[in-house]
Structure 1
C-alpha cells in the first residue's frame, strides 16, 4: 500500500468516526432535552416518587443483565468445545436442509427475514435444483419440517410438521439468523457430521465487529461470540456478497481466529424482484407523497443508514428553491430517537418530507416506479437490496461510494462521497437536471430464483471462492 493510499484510508476513517460522533451527540442532546421536559413538567411531581422505586429496581437488576450480556473471552483453539477434526466430510452433497427457525418463530420484517423468505420460496419453486432442498426448524435438538411456513410462501394446504431423519451427505444450511440460539443446534450438528454431512452458515455482514458503534450495545458481544462459535462449527460460509465473503476471510486471517481446517467461503447475490405483476393501488397518503420529483430511500432507521445525511442534503436543495421530495420507507431500529424526532417535527414533514414505516411489497413497488431516483446513503451494508430493487424496476440509483455498493451497483449506479450531504445534494441535482444518467441495466439485478439456484449450486458443487488453511 502506498503512502498516499494509507493517508486516504486514514482520512476516510477519521471522517467516519466524526460522522458517528455527530450522530451519537445528536442522540444524547435529544435525550437530555426530553429529560428536561419531564423534570420541569407537572407530571414529574406525580411520578417522581415512583422513579425512586424504579431506580432501586434498575440497580438490583443491572448487574444480572451485565453478566448475561458480558462479552465472552475468546478461548484458545485447543480448548474450544467441539474443536474441529483434522479432516472434513467426504460424502457428496445429497440434500440441502435449510434452517429457517428464527424467521419461522418471529418475522421482524427486516432485510434478513426478507432474504430467508425469498430464498426459501424460490428453492421450493425451482424444479431444476442440483440438490433437493427442505426447509427445517430446530426444536429440542431435533429437525422438523416447517409446513405452515412453506405453505404461506408458496401457497397450498399446510400439512403437519414431521421430523427429519439425517441422511448421509446432508448439507445443513444455516440461512436464518441464529445468534441467540446456536447452542440449540449442537445435537443436529453432531448427527449431520456423523453421516458425513457438513454445516454451511449464511453470513449477512460483519458490521457488529467492523462498525460496533452502528449497533445496539448488546449486539457486538453477542455477534462476536456467535461468529467465533460459528467458525468452529461451520465447514463453510456463504455470504450475501463477494465483499462480505472477502471481509470475512480477511477478518479471520488478520485476527487469527480459530476455525475448521479448510474452511470454505463463497457468496451469492440477493434477488431484486419485489412483487409480481403491476403494483396494486396504494393508500391515499402514499399516492399523495409519490408525486413530482420524488426521491425514495428504503431502510430501517438506524445509525449506519444515513438518514441524517439524506435530510441535510434535501434541506440544502429546499433552501436553493428545489421542489424535490424525500420519501423514507423503513421501520424504527435503534439509536434513532433524535433523527425520528427531527423527521416528524420537521417543517417539511407531510409537505416534501414523508416517512412510512409499514409499507408492504405492493406499495413499495408503487413507490419505486414513481420515484425520480432511489437513494441509498448507508456507510456500511452487507449487500444493499434497494440498489438492486430500484434498478430492476428501471429506476436510477444514487448511493454511497462504499465497496459493497460498487459491487452491486457496478457501472450502472451513481455514487457520492460517503457521509457527505453536500456531495449528495450535488448528485441529486445532477440527476434531476439530467446532467448525469444512470444505467439500471448495468446494476446487479438477480432474481430471487437466480439467487436461490446459486445458493444450491455453490453448496451442491462445492463452488467456493476461497478456502482458508
Structure 2
C-alpha cells in the first residue's frame, strides 16, 4: 500500500491549537506515514476549490511535528497557526492538484486514506483520484447523526447520510473503530439494500502523554470524579449535574467533587445554565475547558473514577485513557463501551440516576470494595496499540487486492468463454 493521507482535519484544527479525538487519530496516521520512505507515500488535503491537492513534505512534516510537540506540552500555538496558514495558502493556490496527479502515475498501490468524516461529504474529489488508479479506504467512526438524530443538528444528519452514500459508492474497503460500529454500518446499508465493500473493525490505538510531561503536583485530598469530553447532549452531563445537586443537598461540603474536562458544545443550554447558576456548584463542580493532555492525565490518574454516562459513543477514547492510567471507570451500559472496556468498568444504564448516585457514593469511600475490585481487573486490561490497528488496515488492503485479482480472473474467463 502507498498511502495518500488526507490531512484536511489537522490543518483546519490549527486555529484552536487543541486536539480532539478525531484529530488524534489523524495525527497517529500522519506519524505512521511520515516514517515511510517519501516515494512510498504522500500527504494530501482538500483545496477550497474542491479537488484533493498534494501537500508537500516541507509543509506537511513540520505541521505533524508541531502537533506532536504540542501533545508533549513542548510547542506554543503561534508556530502551529503559522503552519496552518501556510498550508491553507498552498491549498488555495491550487498548485498541488496537477503534481498529485503526476505522483499517482508512479504509485501503483496508491490508496486514499480519509480518517476524518469531513472529507467524505463530496464524491467528486474522491472519484477524481479513483479514475487515476487510487483506491479509497475511509474510517467510519460512528453513525450517531443517523441512529441518534436527536443529538445532532439537522444539517449534520443530512450531511452524514451523504457521506455514507459516497462511501457505499466509492470505497474499496471501510474501517470502523470497533465491532459495534461495524454492525451499525452493515445494518444501515443492509436496510437500504445497498452493497458494501469489505468492512473491517480495527480498534484505534491510544498514546498516553510522556510520563515526564504529566505534572507531579500534590494530589488533592478531597475525593473527586472526572468526566471527559465535549459538553453536548448525548454525553449526558445533565444526569451528572442533577446528581451533584442532590449530593450537595445531602452531604454539603462533604460531597465529592466533580471535574468536567471539555469545551462547551451545542444545543445544551440547560446544562450551561446549571453550570453557570446553581449556587451549590462553586467549589463542588469544576469546569475546565482548555486542559492540556498532561493536565488531563494528571487529573484522571488521581480521580476516584471516570464517569462516562453517554447515551451513544462510537468508540470511547476517554475510557481507554482512564483504564490505561489505572483509573476505574463507571460507564453507560452501551455496546461500544462494553466492547472497549472488556469487562473492566462498572456498567450502569444512562437512565438510571439512582444507580449512578449509589456507584458514586460507593467509589468515593476510601475502603470501597467495588473500586478495589475494579482496580484488580484493570491489571489485566490491554491498552489497544496502533501497530495492531495498522495491521488490520494492511489486511483490509490485502482483501482489496485479492478481490481485484478474483474479479480480473473472472473477467478473463468470461471473455475467453465468449471467444469459443
* 2:122–2:163 CA contact under 8 A, matched in 1: yes
CA drift of 1:150 comes to 3.2
The answer for unaligned runs of 5 or more in structure 2 is: 70-78, 91-95, 402-420
Counterpart selection for 2:28 from 118, 124, 128: 118
The answer for unaligned runs of 5 or more in structure 1 is: 1-93, 465-469
* 2:172–2:400 CA contact under 8 A, matched in 1: no
Partner of 1:153: 64
Q: Deviations over 1:190-228 (max 9, x none)?
A: 334xx3x42111111000110001012211011112211
Partner of 1:445: 383
Query: CA 1:442/1:345 → structure 2, altered by over 3 Å: closer, same or farther?
Result: farther
Which residues in structure 2 correspond to 1:43-58 (within 5 Å)? none
Within the alignment, does 1:371 sit opposite 2:303 as a pair? Answer: yes
| Distance in 1 between residues matched to 2:289 and 2:235, nearest whole Å | 15
Counterpart selection for 1:267 from 201, 226, 232: 201
SS in 2 for 1:349: coil
* 1:135–1:150 CA contact under 8 A, matched in 2: no
| Distance in 1 between residues matched to 2:326 and 2:211, nearest whole Å | 15
Q: Which has the higher contact order (CA 8 A, sep 6+)?
A: 1
Counterpart selection for 1:240 from 174, 177, 202: 177
* 2:6–2:45 CA contact under 8 A, matched in 1: yes
Partner of 2:131: 191
Within the alignment, does 1:175 sit opposite 2:83 as a pair? Answer: no
Partner of 1:135: 43
Indicate the RMSD between aligned Cα atoms, in angstroms: 3.0
SS in 1 for 2:3: strand
* 1:413–1:443 CA contact under 8 A, matched in 2: no
Counterpart selection for 2:276 from 335, 344, 368: 344
Counterpart selection for 1:313 from 195, 219, 243: 243
Counterpart selection for 2:341 from 395, 405, 409: 409
Q: Deviations over 1:256-307 (max 9, x none)?
A: 2x345xx11012222332311234449xxxx799552111100101110010
Partner of 2:7: 100
Q: Which has the higher helix share?
A: 2
TM-score, normalising length: structure 2: 0.76
SS in 1 for 2:118: coil
TM-score, normalising length: structure 1: 0.69
SS in 1 for 2:224: strand
* 1:392–1:441 CA contact under 8 A, matched in 2: no
Counterpart selection for 2:228 from 294, 298, 302: 298
Within the alignment, does 1:327 sit opposite 2:259 as a pair? Answer: yes
CA drift of 1:423 comes to 0.9
